Amino acid sequence: QQQVKQSPQSLIVQKGGISIINCAYENTAFDYFPWYQQFPGKGPALLIAIRPDVSEKKEGRFTISFNKSAKQFSLHIMDSQPGDSATYFCAAGRGSTLGRLYFGRGTQLTVWP
Amino acid sequence: NAGVMQNPRHLVRRRGQEARLRCSPMKGHSHVYWYRQLPEEGLKFMVYLQKENIIDESGMPKERFSAEFPKEGPSILRIQQVVRGDSAAYFCASTATGGTNEKLFFGSGTQLSVL
C-alpha cells in the first residue's frame, strides 16, 4: 500500500514557468513532510521540509504548501530553470523517527530553455 | 568533509551469488538507514541501524537480506543468493543522532544488477 501518493509522474515546464507537484498521504500520525531532489546517478538531496504547524514554507524559489485537513501538500518551483530538471520525491514521516520516511513514486521534471 | 560514501557504485552478480554493499556515514554520524529504489518507484525503507544495533528492520525482506553496523568500519547490507528481483539501486543515509530536527543525508547509491 502506497502511503504517499504523488502526481504527476512527469512534468514539462518552460523556463521561467511554475512547476507544481502534488502529494497526498493517509496516516495522520505523520508530522514531517520533506521534498527531495535527485539527479541521475546521485542520491536524493533534501530540498525543503515542512511540519504541520504551518501551512506554507518558502525557501528561495521553492515553496511547500500544506493542507492538513485534506492531507495534501505540494511543491511549487517558481521561475523554473533548466538546472531544476531532476526527479522530485515527496516523503512523509514522523519526526520522532526521522530516518524512516515513506516516499512518493517521484516526478520527473523537465524544464525547457 | 566527505558525505555519505557508498561502494561499490555498480555491482553485477549472477543469480545465486552474494552481494555486499558498504556504507560509510558522514563523519560524526552514528545512525544509518538503508533504502531500496526500484525503477520508476520511490525509495522504500529497509532498515535502521545504530552502531552495533539494529533499531528497525521492518522493511527488510525476511529471507536472504541482513544488515550490520559494527563498532568499527562501514555498515554492510548483505544479500544472499541474489535473484533478478533484487536488481535495484540501494541507498544509504545517515544522521548524527536521529533527532527530529536533523537532515537525512543520502549517499550516491549502489546499483545492483543481477544477471
d(CA B2, CA B74): 14
| pLDDT grade for B5, boundaries at 50, 70 and 90 | very high
Cross-chain CB nearest to B42 (options A32, A41, A104)? A104
Residue B109 distance to chain A (closest CA, Å): 6
Q: What is the pLDDT of residue B98?
A: 66
Q: Is the pLDDT of residue B91 over 80?
A: yes
In tens, the pLDDT along B17-69 reads 999 999 999 998 889 999 999 887 889 999 999 988 999 999 999 999 999 99
The alpha carbon torsion through B105, B98, A93, A19 (nearest 10 deg) reads -30
**What is the CA B57 to chain-centroid distance, rounded?**
12
In tens, the pLDDT along A31-57 reads 999 999 999 989 999 999 999 889 999
Answer whether B91 sits within 8 Å of A104, measured CB to CB: no
In tens, the pLDDT along A66-109 reads 999 999 999 999 999 999 999 999 999 986 676 789 999 999 99
d(CA A60, CA A55): 17
Residue B83 distance to chain A (closest CA, Å): 23
- pLDDT > 90 fraction of chain B, expressed in percent and rounded: 77
d(CA A34, CA A61): 16
d(CA B62, CA B60): 6
Nearest residue on chain A to B111, judged by CA atoms? Answer: A41
Q: What is the pLDDT of residue B115?
A: 95
The alpha carbon torsion through B112, B114, A109, A99 (nearest 10 deg) reads -40
Residue A96 distance to chain B (closest CA, Å): 6
| pLDDT grade for B100, boundaries at 50, 70 and 90 | low
